[in-house]
Amino acid sequence: GNRNPLPDEIETCSAYLQEQIRRLQPKFILALGRFAAHHLLQAAVPDVQAQALGKLRASVHRHGDIPVVVSYHPAYLLRNPVEKAKTWDDLCLALAAHPLSQA
């Protein structure tokens, strides 16, 4: 139904996501959408829940010691194709910030 997740759904999936991050030990995370960004950055960005996604993108953040770049959710881009250029910029930033691209 393309609806926002309910708080209990986010909470239920949160432990699973954190366990996957712990097990996989990613070198980099690309957070697509407001809910992913807010969840992953809650410890690093003060009052992140009050921040619009547009204010979080175009920067490299951290989830613990993992670099995180935030961009728009694909469903948002389907409804707002004009934002695809900003997403391209975010992907270029992600590539430049990715630890393996600096080898």
The arithmetic mean of pLDDT across residues 23-47, rounded, is 94
The arithmetic mean of pLDDT across residues 29-38, rounded, is 95
Question: Residue 102 has what pLDDT?
Answer: 65
DSSP string covering the chain, please?
---PPPHHHHHHHHHHHHHHHHHH--S-EEEESHHHHHHHHTTTSTTGGGS-HHHHSSSEEEETTEEEEEE--HHHHHH-GGGHHHHHHHHHHHHHH-GGGG-
Strand partners, 30: 69
- Does the reported pTM lie above 0.85? yes
The arithmetic mean of pLDDT across residues 75-93, rounded, is 95
Strand partners, 31: 70
**Residue 28: φ, ψ to 5°:** -165, 150
Show the tokens assigned to 41: 């950055």
Checking if the pLDDT of 1 tops 80, the result is no
- Look-up: residue for tokens 């959408």? 33
